[in-house]
Amino acid sequence: VLSGYFGNAAQARSVGRLITALRDKNPDLFYVCDPVMGDLGGLYVPEATAEAIRDHLIPLASLATPNRYELAWLSGAPLESNTEIMEAALALGPARMLVTSAVPMMAGGTGNLYLSGRHALLAEHRLIDNPPNGLGDLLAALFLSRLQSGMEDEKALQLATASVYEVLARAVKRGSDELTLANDASSLSTPMAMVQMRHLMHPAQRRKS
Query: Domain extents for the chain?
Result: 2-208
> Can you tell me the mean pLDDT for 28-47?
94
Give me the half-sphere count of Cα atoms (radius 13 Å) on the Cβ side of residue 192.
Answer: 4
Cα–Cα distance for residue pair 18/13, rounded to 1 Å: 9
Query: Greater confidence, 193 or 117?
Result: 193
**Domain 2-208 CATH assignment equals 3.40.50.720:** no
Q: Residue 190 above 70 pLDDT?
A: yes
